[in-house]
Amino acid sequence: MEPKHFKHWPKHLPRHLSVPSTTLHFNLEVSSQRYPDKPAVIFYDSKLSYRELHRQVDVMAGFLQNRCGVRKGDRVILQMQNSPQFIIAYYAILRADAAVLPVSPMHVTDELVHYFDDAGASIALIAQDLYPQIKPLLGKQAKHAIVATYSDYLTDQTTLDIPEFVRAPREAVIDPGAVSWADALAAGYKPLSAAAQPDDLASILYTSGTTGKSKGCMHTHRTMMHSLVGAAVWEGFSADSVALGTAPFFHVTGMQHSMNAPLYAGATIAILPRWNADAAGYMIERYGCTHWANVPTMVVDLLAHPATAGRDLSSLTNIFGGGASMPEAVAQKLFELCGIEYMEAYGMTETISQTHMNPAHKARKQCLGFPTFDTESLVIDPETLAVLGPNEQGEIVVHGPQVMLGYWQRPDANETVFIDIGGKKFMRTGDLGRHDEDGYYYIADRLKRMINASGYKVWPAEVEATLYKHPDIKEVTIISVPDARRGETVKAVVVLKDERKGQVSAEDIMEWSRLHMAAYKVPRLVDFTDALPRSGTGKIQWRTLQEKEWEGVAKP
């Protein structure tokens, strides 16, 4: 029987997607041959052509292979903000037949140790401003580090306000095992013949969860191609498109919709390393940006900025987002300004971005959309696993070609996340929702204990595991609390050791946290208590504390 959502399917799009059986790097190779002199990247007002981008990718791949010993199947860490070097590093790792392991620029040394150890990585390409985080690991977890300076790619004058960390001049790299990006390119190595195949591992992306340690999602070139080609087709990318790259490239939304899909199409990417509403408006107007993947808070910021009222944003044809719901009033204001509907979607790191998308011609607000190309979705009872009907609330599960192979070296987690329904392998999302009679899906709540702060996923168990290392903390629980800007934010409820009570402040806890975890995980609020509420079996009742915070407040 034909899926119900097919009656709302865009008439100009196929219902089945024929995806090339090639690697991600081949996409760049093709685009560089088709459009050699066209700007692939605009970095503030500096440009990098497809020809030069491809050349530098090959040279960096050659360095990885000839000087760092990278071989097929190796895992290589990439830690940078959005920049030309991020793209070059990403595709150089793939060209070296290795798997790229992108990590957040906000992750600190303690967190990086887990990525190196868990993935068996020993090489990192890292930005100069982040190098102090990896320096203590040289000679231990990290055998080689290639250090990139953003300002090397600021080749043209600009009137934009460039952050200090981007403008900073190149510093000498003298530590054993480390080399500057410029020296790596100057070595001029050629890469070995490409050997990666479509079903080889292309990336491991780490996602946290209900336990303290994050898990690596394994994606092949094929799973990633299904997602990025689907994005390019659904969102209407062409060689004449210009994507505004403000969503972080280390995360699946920015990676697939702002980097990989545009490069596949031969489009141009206008990059901002850090979100700035004024600079974003400038880039849209000056370079005619057509596509913009974001989180809703970026749209809120852009619409609220005084300069936006005087800018021409009419070039935008597709504004896409996920990770958090778009407020209806903001979506309406955006429509009045640009004449297009905000396209909400749904996906996960485990599915390398979208599994559900709204169609541009029949988008629904505060809605996930319906299953995209060659993807099936159901709602099941999370206890019995029985399939539920329209408007019955349960857990959303998905089956499709973009679903990960599984978690890296975690067979226990794989057994939990995958289930068989009608002879097909479905993945449990952990999100509670429903679908209506038309096949559109809606989120209701989370089965998983997770905080969504402006699109950043914070897993309380992971933050708690880190805070328990604090020398003055006896017990702690992490809860979600309302936040006017972030939707919700992170709060720590702390029991101090008896001898330290009255001697430790909330700011002390937050300052310590900033040194041991990514900034978006750091508790914004800290309460001290003599005891945490517990169940009859002794379990901490975090939900009781959280419900008190949300009394009378609608959950985002």
pLDDT digits (tens, 9 = 90+) for 382-419: 999 999 999 999 999 999 999 999 999 999 999 999 99
Q: Is 452's pLDDT higher than 60?
A: yes
On the CB side of 553, CA atoms within 13 Å amount to 15
Mean pLDDT over 280-300 rounds to 93
Q: In whole angstroms, what is the distance from residue 90 CA to residue 60 CA?
A: 10
Poorest-pLDDT segment among 84-98, 138-152, 296-310: 296-310
Which pLDDT band, with edges at 50, 70 and 90, does 210 fall under?
low
Mean pLDDT over 483-495 rounds to 90
pLDDT of residue 324: 60
Mean pLDDT over 436-457 rounds to 83
The percent of residues in the chain predicted with pLDDT above 90, rounded, is: 78
pLDDT of residue 511: 96
pLDDT by residue (tens digit) across 10-53? 999 999 999 999 999 999 999 999 999 999 999 999 999 999 99
pLDDT by residue (tens digit) across 332-371? 888 888 888 899 999 999 999 999 999 999 998 889 999 9
Report the Cα–Cα distance between both ends of the chain, in Å, rounded: 35
| The 3-state secondary structure of 113-136, one letter per residue | HHHHHHHCCCEEEEEHHHHHHHHH
**Nearest to residue 347, comparing CAs of 252, 424, 460, 243?**
252
pLDDT of residue 556: 60
Mean pLDDT over 216-222 rounds to 98
pLDDT of residue 536: 64
Mean pLDDT over 447-460 rounds to 80
Q: In whole angstroms, what is the distance from residue 48 CA to residue 54 CA?
A: 10
Query: Which strands sit side by side in the sheet containing 525-528, from one edge to the other?
Result: 473-483, 487-496, 525-528
Mean pLDDT over 427-437 rounds to 93
Q: Is 224's pLDDT higher than 90?
A: yes
Q: Is 494's pLDDT higher than 90?
A: yes
Helix ranges restricted to H, 377-479: 411-417, 460-467
pLDDT by residue (tens digit) across 468-478? 889 999 889 99
pLDDT of residue 366: 82
pLDDT of residue 130: 97
Which pLDDT band, with edges at 50, 70 and 90, does 514 fall under?
very high
Mean pLDDT over 186-214 rounds to 89
Mean pLDDT over 301-316 rounds to 91
Contact 106, 519 (CB under 8 A): yes
Structure tokens, 197: 């195949």
pLDDT of residue 405: 98
Q: Where are the beta strands (DSSP E) in 497-552?
A: 525-528
pLDDT of residue 239: 98
Q: Would the pTM count as exceeding 0.85?
A: yes
All domains of the chain in start order, with CATH = 45-196 (3.40.50.980), 236-340 (3.40.50.980), 370-446 (2.30.38.10), 451-549 (3.30.300.30)
Number of helices (H), then strands (E), belonging to the chain: the values are: 17, 27
Q: Estimate the share of the chain in helix, then strand, then coil, as percent rounded to the nearest 5.
A: 35, 25, 40
All residues at 6 or more sequence positions from 176 whose CB lies less than 8 Å from its CB, including other chains: 138, 139
pLDDT by residue (tens digit) across 528-540? 999 888 766 566 7
Residue-wise burial string across 133-171, b where 16 or more C-beta atoms lie within 10 A, e elsewhere: bbbebbeebbbbbbbbbbebbbeeeeeeebbebbeeeee
Q: Is 240's pLDDT higher than 80?
A: yes
Structure tokens, 507: 């700011």
Q: In whole angstroms, what is the distance from residue 108 CA to residue 359 CA?
A: 39
Q: Which residue has the higher pLDDT, 483 or 188?
A: 188
Mean pLDDT over 443-469 rounds to 81
pLDDT of residue 208: 67
Poorest-pLDDT segment among 191-195, 286-290, 470-474, 508-512: 470-474
Q: In whole angstroms, what is the distance from residue 250 CA to residue 248 CA?
A: 5
What is the chain's mean pLDDT, rounded?
93
pLDDT by residue (tens digit) across 253-279? 999 999 999 999 999 999 999 999 999
pLDDT of residue 416: 93
Q: Long-range contacts: 131-136, Cβ < 8 Å, 24+? A: 131/173, 131/178, 133/79, 133/107, 133/108, 133/109, 134/79, 134/109, 135/175, 135/178, 136/109
Q: In whole angstroms, what is the distance from residue 255 CA to residue 87 CA?
A: 9
